[in-house]
Structure 1
Amino acid sequence: MIYLLISILSSTAIFVVFKLFKKYEINILQGIVVNYFTASTLGFLLYKGSISPTEIIASGWFIPAIALGFLFIAIFNVLGLTAQKNGLSVASVASKMSVIIPVIFGIIVFNESIGAQKIIGIILALIAVYLTAVKPKENVVLTQSIYLPILLFLGSGIIDTSINYFAPDDKIALFSSTIFTMAAIIGTTLLIGKRIKSKIKFNFKSIPLGIALGLVNYCSIHFLLMALRLENTESSTLFTINHIAILALSTLTGLILFKEKIFKMNWVGIILALISIALVTLA
């Protein structure tokens, strides 16, 4: 479980870094691009084998990795648009509810176990996502641009499912780096386009926090894949624990570090999250 714990802590750290982006007025796209270059470099440095571009291109996972690079950038933009049009609560719920996609995929495709206790745990987890993420005083508009949260839900679920399905057991670092490299190239292209269109200059303040984001971002994916590759582990169980633990821990981190207000329903969600983790784990 150490790999899963590191992944959860790294994903929670992503939330903290994004908060610092806002505090120090860092251009998000610029920071994201620096993050992808950092994550890509880290993966290549950690890979212990020889790196051959020809072999990478010829591998069966190269095309899926390229597609995932596109998805990383696309879903990031959809997340931002969803938060703007529908509210942060809707964006958070849509992205976290997407855990049901890799869970169902694992049960159907990998023939993973399913029983009453596990089903109850997953249902409680989905309820916990909603209760933990929603803020009663936030002006949430579900009917406006309803396609955005739907796209966010599907895209986030497809990313999680595809990373697990296509990642080669012996080349996790290389696979992850290829995804991040593609995302970095696309992000750089977008930055150049914005520079030409609106004359926005690159702010070097984006580099330190972008690097920090890249380090924890890479770890969140790398160690999740490591956990998924351990013997006698089921993706439906790990994805449920991972998503719910991140949401609960991020909420508590917001309370402790950034003095964010947590409502009664959010506390109920956190408690349900812990119960669901226990049920799914023990199942």
Structure 2
Amino acid sequence: MGLCFLLTLFLGSFFGSIFMLGPVLPLMLLSPAWYRWVTDRIVATWLTLPVVRYLYTIVSFVCTALSTILIVSKQPYRVENTRARSDEFAEKNGLPKYEYVLHPRTTGFTFIVDTLRKGDNLDAVHDITVAYPQNIPQTERHLLLGLFPREIHFHVRRFSAACLPSSAEQLQRWCQERWREKEQRLCAFYRSEPRCFDQPEARVPPCKSQLRVALIKAASLLYWSAFITLCCAGLWLWTPLRLYFLLMVIFFLCQQRVTGGVELMELACHRHNPRVNQG
């Protein structure tokens, strides 16, 4: 089951990049804003596939906002080098050593917040802590064996942009304080019986009923199964499609080497687009 699921994820993303994102690439030159709008929805369609197993849990926390930073923390992989680097950083900066989280990168966080503030694009920061009361997949091998988490718990807090500290130094301390709370929260979670966060369970809005979520699951599985099957059949039977496929693969490989990625191409088009510059 795990191998089939990962294979479906890979083929969905691979064929999706070629046959769904590929045809809209010229739109990047004409209107970067419209290109971003279209590709965001294409990617969102693909994202229904990896979360289909836990879709009912995840959609309960979808928020509508102008621009949102997600601070996501979960019990880290048991990689000694990663833990050692985090402990070394804590010793150098006089910070406590953590067991369940790694120390945050406050410099990057403050830079993102300041940049979004300057453009008046920051609506809120959502602090999300993820915990696994039972099995915790540590490597890709666990996923290949089908050892997916049986249950996932989320602790969500929303901080509006207006309540965030103004200076970079205060913002760094604010971020570090949130991580200290995460460590305490996860410590209490894994020591409690039954394992759960000390807060009321979130209520699912009526628009996200179990029936609606079940229909989304079914539609996602049906769509992506049919999409992958049709892509394979088309490549096997239709020569023009094989030619298009080959050209797109060459394009993606070349642009990765020349420009560093489609995202950098999009950024360059955004900067040089006359309509954007005039706005």
Which structure carries more helix by proportion? 1
Alignment TM class, shorter chain as reference: under 0.3
Q: Which has the larger radius of gyration?
A: 2
Which structure carries more strand by proportion? 2
